Amino acid sequence: MGQQQQVRVSGRALWRVRLLVWGIVGLAPFPAAAQQQLTVAAYPAVDKIVEAAIPAWKKLHPHVAIKVVSRQFADHHTAMTTALSTRFYLPDVMALEVGYVGRFAQGGGLEDLVKPPYNIRSVQAQFVPYALAQATARTGAIVAVPTDIGPGTLLVRTDVLAKAGVSEAELTKSWESYVAAGVKIKQGTGAYLMAHARDMKNILIRTGIQPGEGLYFDKDSKVLVTSPRFVRAFELAREVRRNKLDARVSEWSNEWSEGFKRGTLATQLTGAWLAGHLNNWLAPGTAGKWRALQLPEGAFAAYGGTFLAIPRGAPAANKPLAWEFIKLLTLDRELQLQAFKSQDAFPALLSSYDDPFFEQPIAFLGGQAARVQWREATQRIVAVSVHKQDAFAGEVIDTELDKVLDQGKDIPTALADAARLLAKRANR
Amino acid sequence: MKLPAFLRLSPEITPYVLLSPFAILFFVFGMFPLVFSLYLAFQSWEPTSGLSAMQFVGFDNFVFSLQDEWFWKSLKNTAWLAVASGVPQHLVAIPLAVFIHTSFKRLRNGVVGAYFLPYITSTVAIAIMFSSLFSTDYGVVNTALHALFGGENIDWLGQPENIKPAIAMIVFWRYLGFNVVLYLAALQTIPKDLYEAATMDGAGRLQQFFYITLPSLKPMIYFGVTLSVIGGLQLFEEPFILTGGRGGSDQSGMTTAIYLYRMAFDFNDFGAASAMSWLLFFLVVILTYLTNQAFKPRNAGG
Amino acid sequence: MNSNRLAPWAAYVIVGVGALIMLAPFYFMFVFATQSRTEIFSLPPPMWFGDDFFNNLKILTERIPFWRNLGWSLYVAVANTALTLLFCSMGGYAFGCFDFRYKNALFAFVMATMLLPSFMNMIPTFMIMDALGWIDQPRALYIPGAASAFGIFLMRQFVTTSIPKDLIEAARMDGCSELGIYWRIVLPLLKPALGTLGLITFIASWNNFIGPLIVMRSPENYTLPLALRSLQSPVDTEWGALMTGSAIATIPLVVLFMLSSRQLISGLTAGAVK
């Protein structure tokens, strides 16, 4: 009897204990470190770079998950435009390509990182100067942080040059000598100097930009396309076409990649990252036959580049963490170098520039330690201020160039026509 | 199974009940965008600045559009493409459908299927396929043309004058099968006795085609042509993917729909884009009305 | 007379060659699906199948949740088709067999909305979806599409030509309820039209990428076109994987077409013959 009672009592007691335990567990709030989530919107290959940074983030903030939403390049920017326009469903961190940063900067939809609590000026000096300038709006607000940049370079086929008896110095002394070298290359080997004359025009119009000027418009929205740099660009491009030095192929077309494989394209004006792609899949069979030079006549330009921004309309509670994440991606030397090594994303962080990786020879480029050269180039690139109609202006100039090259249109007339078209829209 | 009396609908309110699901959805999802876009046509708006950045500018967007060289260029391109891709579609689809109808019995589904496949293929695949096929030096199109006619290789995608025919060919390829199916279906409803009577009267096959087949197909031609007119004027996907979203050299492949898209998302001028879309709308309405008039039966009885 | 005897086999040849030309790009899509991107990007392009299919499949499934996206595409397309068939047949029947106020104006209005390019609606649609709380949900993809102007146009065309009014009157006399008439008399007669509209709606829903682009926020919820597009990088696209994904994505449509081709051919008929 006593035993039974004991059992019954402990049975009941056990149940009470169980209830108590479940009650505590069920009703007690979860520990304050609840799962918070940051949404990062990106596009290939930036998404891989972001994902690669997640382990490092987890060490610093184990309770904050990162969700990466990746879309195709144009889709991503369209989706970001849509989100910014309505201020709904903005990501906490937005990746932007350099071509879009200017536009979005003018719009005022991105946080000004100069202001507290971001205070980007305290870390400003750690970045390559032009990159941060590129993300600066006319009001002085800095709206995005560079995570990688694309220093421009001239990739040349050493075997083709050797056969034609052309030296590297001839190619880079001046743009005129570059074209003259192209004539020699054509005569000696039959190879083209470049893929398309417009590639050269694109660099030439960037040279000699005066302070206060953008590429096509100045700060008062006056049209600049009749200025000497455009005339020179068009004249040299026409020279190239007249001498049949360009293959008239567009980038990323089958003919373009075939030109590399077969050695019919002797040089390419491009970003440093192309060397990696050539090696990986575009023309792996040509490894060792290339070298990287600086752009002719001391020109320095950027081809691409990725920035990270915080939209103003993103949830306020997430913004401090978003800023922490951005700082991790852009200021952490190891992560910047890791992105460089795996995705060919040239760092924007100056402190990473002393890493021995830069001095390593690159087999594809015949053992050249080209990264050193590219590193120098980044210091000398100048930021170009952006105007809302730049995309339109680019098209118009390309069209007029085509008319000059294909139909023999007169250069002053072509530029005047372009100016007329642009003037109508300059103030929209 | 009879419903209780209070649930039974009278013939008067039945149409409203039947139409209500459609009407509700349409009102919720269709009206607001329409009104928004009409409202936007009178505003100046750069989207990334947010909704509050809209500024009323009256008819400025419309004036700008009507004076814009590129707008008119795009309209010309659109008209050219609509006609060049639309007319052959129907001119070829009708005889082809007649032929398949009369000459293929067992293989009919297979042949029709082959012609219908392009309609199903996704645009991503088409983009890559056609860039490869229309490649200047090594594309299959140029190889075939060279084998048949000799001459130099045509730079399809680089030269402005070649882009339009290339796009027209792709649109033709894509929708021919769709129209063949439409006409094939219509052909099956023409009574056989009409043909038998005509043969007995001594009419040849060609005469039968022109005097029996074509008139009987008239309603289906109206349906098909209306769709082609509307589709042609709104042509977006095929030129978009072939020119990488930019409209090609000298904008020769830039249809109005592509220009609208670029105005909105590339040049960030939503107000002008909306104004242009309404201008295009009126144009399509007028043309559809004209098509309607052209096909209206002249006398009752069709 | 001579031309009549010559015509037959020449015509067969032309039609046959035409069919081959129609099939060619399709064929290349499957060939490219089995090649690596280096080979795809070379000239001349590969003409026969390669051996990279499984490799491409591996890359494809690693980069995007391919099978899950395929599942979503299927779910959305089926739901969209079902709803569209239901609502448009009801609407088409209403427009076709009844007379009511503003009938013609309303119909013209609905037709008119077919004329505005869909991407202009992106931002207002985004606003509506957010207001409804439907962002990132498949219902945002299959419900709005059910109000298809094309669907109503087609259905009305059919109803006016293949549903005899006396049949309906007779049914009413017999005491059948209005909805009963719709369900038990009209719908069965509309079968061919339903088959046709169903196929076209399914294809359109399957290939639609603008809708998902506006509404979907998580890659796991993407439908196929959007997911496949997200494989495209400005400089680093995995073309082989992309082609493999596109080829696989086309197969359900081909199957569906084969199943419904009989319906389709007789389907579009009645609507058009006055």
| Interface of chain B toward chain A, CB-CB under 8 angstroms | 44, 46-51, 53, 64, 67-69, 131-132, 135-138, 155, 157-160, 245-246, 249-251, 265-270, 272
Partner B contacted by A75 (CB < 8 A): no
As for how many domains chain A has, the answer is 2
Residue to test with chain C: of A37, A50, A71, most C Cβ within 10 A: A71
> Does A103 sit within 8 Å of B251, measured CB to CB?
no
Does residue A25 form part of some domain?
no
Mean pLDDT check: name the lowest of A105-109, B65-69, C261-265: C261-265
Chain A neighbours, 3+ Cβ pairs < 8 A: B, C
Residue C229 has pLDDT above 70, yes or no: yes
Q: How far apart are CA A51 and CA A163, in angstroms?
A: 45
In this structure, are A182 and A245 located in the same domain? Answer: yes
Q: Give A256 to chain C, closest Cα distance, Å.
A: 9
Chain B neighbours, 3+ Cβ pairs < 8 A: A, C
Partner A contacted by C135 (CB < 8 A): yes
> Does A86 sit within 8 Å of C126, measured CB to CB?
yes
Question: Which chain A residue lies closest to B245 (C-alpha atoms)?
Answer: A74
Does residue A15 form part of some domain?
no
Looking at the domain C53-272, which fold is it? MetI-like fold (1.10.3720)
Does residue A327 form part of some domain?
yes
In this structure, are A270 and A383 located in the same domain? Answer: yes
In this structure, are A289 and A175 located in the same domain? Answer: yes
Residue A330 corresponds to which tokens in the numbers above?
A: 């852009």
Q: Give A85 to chain B, closest Cα distance, Å.
A: 4
DSSP A32: S
Partner C contacted by B231 (CB < 8 A): no
Does residue A28 form part of some domain?
no
**Residue that finishes a domain, picked among A344, A359, A374:** A359
- CATH number of the domain bearing residue A238: 3.40.190.10
Partner B contacted by A250 (CB < 8 A): yes
Does residue A30 form part of some domain?
no
Residue A237 corresponds to which tokens in the numbers above?
A: 């491009």
Burial class (CB in 10 A: 0-12, 13-18, 19+), C168: buried
Q: How far is CA C200 from CA A193, B224, C77, C78, in A?
A: 50, 15, 11, 12
Q: ipTM score here?
A: 0.79
In this structure, are A242 and A312 located in the same domain? Answer: no
In this structure, are A332 and A394 located in the same domain? Answer: no
Query: Token match 């490092």: residue?
Result: A56
Does residue A104 form part of some domain?
yes
In this structure, are A344 and A234 located in the same domain? Answer: no
What does the mean pLDDT of chain B come to? 82
Query: Token match 């104006």: residue?
Result: C105
Q: How far apart are CA B287 and CA B229, in angstroms?
A: 8
In this structure, are A183 and A317 located in the same domain? Answer: no
Which of B238, B258, B235 minimizes the C-alpha distance to B246?
B258
Residue B165 has pLDDT above 60, yes or no: yes
Question: Which chain B residue lies closest to A404 (C-alpha atoms)?
Answer: B250
Contacts of A90 (CB under 8 A, 6+ apart): A83, A84, A311, A313, A314
Mean pLDDT check: name the lowest of A32-46, A287-301, A309-323: A32-46
Q: Give C142 to chain B, closest Cα distance, Å.
A: 11
Question: Quick one: pLDDT band at residue C1, thresholds 50, 70, 90?
Answer: very low
In this structure, are A343 and A320 located in the same domain? Answer: yes
Q: How far is CA B242 from CA A70, B193, B237, C120, in A?
A: 24, 48, 8, 21
Chain segment B225-279, per-residue pLDDT in tens: 888 888 888 888 888 877 877 777 778 888 888 898 888 888 888 899 999 988 9
Average pLDDT over residues B190-216: 83
> Does C12 sit within 8 Å of B184, measured CB to CB?
no
Torsion of CA B31, B37, B39, B41, to 10 degrees: -150
Reduced to 3 states (helix: H, G, I; strand: E, B; else coil), residue C75 is helix
For residue A237, give its domain range. Answer: 151-303+363-425
Chain segment C74-125, per-residue pLDDT in tens: 999 999 999 999 999 998 888 888 888 888 888 888 877 777 777 777 788 8
> Does A250 sit within 8 Å of B51, measured CB to CB?
no
Reduced to 3 states (helix: H, G, I; strand: E, B; else coil), residue A149 is strand
Chain segment A78-109, per-residue pLDDT in tens: 889 888 888 888 999 999 998 888 888 888 88
A37 Rama sector, left if φ>0, alpha if ψ -120 to 50, beta otherwise: beta
In this structure, are A389 and A347 located in the same domain? Answer: no
Does residue A27 form part of some domain?
no
Q: Give C212 to chain B, closest Cα distance, Å.
A: 15
In this structure, are A194 and A76 located in the same domain? Answer: no
In this structure, are A334 and A310 located in the same domain? Answer: yes
In this structure, are A157 and A172 located in the same domain? Answer: yes
> Does A71 sit within 8 Å of C230, measured CB to CB?
yes
**Inter-chain contacts counted by CB atoms under 8 A, chains A and C:** 81
Please tell me the pTM assigned to this model.
0.83
Does residue A338 form part of some domain?
yes
Q: Is domain B62-295 classified as CATH 3.10.20.30?
A: no
